[in-house]
Amino acid sequence: MTNRRNFLAMLAGMGALPAWAVRARFASLSDPVSSAQLASDPLRPQYHLLPCANWMNDPNGPIYWNGNYHMFYQYNPDGAYWGDMHWGHAISPDMVHWRHLPIALAPTPGGPDSAGCFTGTAAVQNGRVMMMYTGVRAVSVNDATVKDGDPPLRESQCLAVSADPDLKTWTKLPQPVIADPPPGLEVNGFRDPSPWRQGEGWYTVLATGIANQGGAVLLYRSKDLRAWEYMHILVHRDRTGLAGLDPFDPWEVWECPEFFSLGDRHVLIFSTAGKTYWQSGKLDEQEMTFHPEQAGIVDYGSYYAAKTQLDKAGNRILWGWITESRPLAEYKAAGWAGMMSLPRVLALDRDGRLTFRVATAVNRLRAREQALNTSAPESDVRDQLASFRVEDCCGEILCTAKRSSQPFALAISGSDESAPWLTIAYDPNHRDQVFIDSRPIPHSLPAAANLELHLYADGSVIELLVSGQIAFTKRFYYSEKLPQALRLHWTGSITAIATLSIWQIIPISKDRLTT
């Protein structure tokens, strides 16, 4: 996985080491961590999904099935480092309260996935759930689609079938359903299938990078999910316009592509260079060509490899892997790494831009509310705000603020003396931007619209949504051994606050093991 491999190495602060070196370095860092240590770690979240221990990355095959939501994910059973990719499995009645189930997919010795079961997608055919995923095996460099590994790896697309109502047991087809990249195309990667039903047949997109040209998404079609025909490149980097991302990497791969209809348009989501991007536009269903019209970034923070599903009401739900931003030695020693984002409902605005909101099911976790009385005298309002606390960094904050002629900033921290964990600022000289940790990020709100700042804080993560247009996931870490109480700090005009409420969030398990 050239692109993701370098991204993981970047997260670890090690430079672009090959995966085998990353795994070897990780494995030598510390001894296994006990359940008691994990449960008492104040940095572990209390209402985000993550394994009881070890490494998690991409969401895989999320699906609503037989009255429950199933989340599969990339998982290393050996420790808190990337490697030995299995599929973990959790089940939920509501996308919020999760229970872990046994590992769903594991590498098959001698099979096309003998070196790992990589990312994939769920599909339903004839009343059974199918998982189409990427298997990898060690090969010579001449046969590899990932040439910089040790050993080099060959990626192919595999299929597993479950007749189990709880999706606990799976039967793999012995041979890949797409064994090779398109002939004549020199690729940097060949992975992450995402099939969907359309008309009488099936289509899937696949991630790739074209050598020395950049990332691309391939399109295939099938009548039965088993025999696939390559059609053409659906979209690719063109160095200009909507597909012109910066900077250019000749080894770039557009990973984890998702392609789906939303309203009267289609949306493409893909991940590369540490960020997840979206494009929206029109699909010519006769030619199966995509014409992007709008584009943007799904999340500006520690968020990658997004995956979607339909919920029981037919809403398009987005999940993402929340990555670590601390050094590899720290998360290896902690015994866990990575978590799943909260479910986000996707929609398009009238101009075709992608919008986000956290699923309302999360509201059921709200407990004690602290609401700011904005009609009180200014000194009383400031005193109220200074007294607000989110205990154990486990809460939700919802603030609407007027874009007036005065600047303001909202900072989140663990104490009055500590450096802010996150700062959101508004400057009337830049009315079409917000500044998140001093970074200017554009929005397209009407001139009279308030800013809506919606934050979900949990252990060592904050998911921030700004007016449904901007998402920013922030990881923060502190050295104290006990959970910290989150505090708010407002600078600038207090009259800019239209409303502000804080809720304590009810943990989804009795400890921090999410079981």
Which residues have C-beta within 8 Å of that of residue 28, sequence separation ≥ 6? Answer: none
Cα–Cα distances in angstroms (integers) from residue 162 to residues 25, 130, 512, in the given order: 37, 7, 30
Burial of 496 (0-12, 13-18, 19+ CB in 10 A): buried
Q: How far is residue 416 from each of residues 260, 383, 453, 486, measured CA to CA in Å?
A: 46, 14, 21, 10
Residue 311 contacts residue 338 (beta carbons within 8 Å): no
Q: What is the DSSP string of 366-398?
A: EEEEEE--TTS-HHHHHHHHHH--BGGGEEEEE
Contacts 24+ apart (CB under 8 A), 372-376: 372/497, 372/499, 372/500, 372/501, 374/497, 374/498, 374/499, 374/500
Label residues 87-99 b or e (16+ Cβ within 10 Å = b).
bbbbbbeebbbbe
What are residue 137's DSSP bridge partners? 154
Question: Does an H or E element contain 328, and which?
Answer: helix 328-334
What number of H helices and E strands is found in the chain? 5, 33
Q: How many CB atoms lie within 10 A of CB 417?
A: 6
DSSP three-state, residue 7: helix
Give the span between the Cα atoms of 437 and 423, in whole angstroms: 5
Q: How far apart are CA 454 and CA 147, in angstroms?
A: 43
Axis-axis angle for helices 19-27, 2-12 (nearest 10): 30
**Is residue 84 annotated as part of the catalytic site, yes or no?**
no
* Cα(313)–Cα(177) distance, integer angstroms: 32
Coil, strand, or helix at residue 12?
helix
What sign for the dihedral angle of Cα 403, 408, 413, 419?
A: positive
CA distances from 58 to 8, 71, 353 (A): 12, 10, 25
CA 229 from chain center: how many Å? 30
- Catalytic, out of 31, 41, 58, 148: 58
With residues binned 3-state (H G I as helix, E B as strand, rest as coil), the percentages for the chain, rounded to 5, are 10, 50, 40
65: exposed, middle or buried (Cβ count in 10 Å: 0-12, 13-18, 19+): middle
Cα–Cα nearest to 330, from 484, 514, 477: 477
Active site residues: 58
